[in-house]
Amino acid sequence: MTIKPISSEMRSWFAVYTASNHEKRVTQHLRAKEIETFLPLYSVTKRWRNRTTVKVELPLFSGYVFARIAPTESIKVLETPMVYSIVGNRRELSPLPDAEIEGLRAGLQGRQAHPFPYVKVGNRVRIRSGALAGMEGIVVRTYGSLSVVLSVDTIQKSIAVHVEADELEWCAQGRVLSQGTA
């Protein structure tokens, strides 16, 4: 009897909850196990006590790494050092939409993004051009410019991506509340 390899169509993206400040190490371990990962990073300049400044790459979604696996491969992920769990409910894992991760992956290249508090209420817009075209979020002003807050509802984390006003269009519903809210 031969074991068939798992095709990429059977794999989905999942959020992997990790120990704080160990996201890069977890990513290295998962890649060593030949698991496709995505760890979006942003740059920040830190100033140490000895007055030296260093540019540091930090995870956009602290405490999380995204892994593309089949549900049957979850044990390989859970056996990885510093991995606490794979996001889901008590009965099953919660896959993330492929389009959401692929959109983030493509769209964050060449754009400034930074972590932002999770929000669900606000003026909803759609990005109409560029690599993030089609993605929807909530428009905010950050650091004197426009940003769109993109949220990953499964992990209740958000990031703000700097955009130009001409890249945006208002969604039909305008101001919306999160699903399930009265």
Whole-Å CA distances, 34 to 60, 63, 100, 157 = 23, 21, 22, 27
Residue 1: inside a domain, yes or no? Answer: no
Residue 13 lies inside a defined structural domain of this protein = yes
Please say which residue of 43, 65, 96 terminates a domain.
96
Record the pTM.
0.82
Question: What angle (nearest 5°) sits at the alpha carbon of residue 35, between those of residues 149 and 39?
Answer: 25
Query: Can you give the residue range of the structural domain that contains 90?
Result: 9-96
Q: Tell me: the pLDDT tens digits for 132-178?
A: 888 889 998 877 788 899 888 889 999 999 888 888 898 875 443 33
Average pLDDT over residues 99-110: 84
CATH number, position 74: 3.30.70.940
Domain annotation covers residue 4: no
Residues 80 and 137 in one domain: no
Rounded to whole angstroms, the Cα distance separating 80 from 7 reads 22
Separation between Cα atoms, residue 40 and residue 57, nearest integer Å: 10
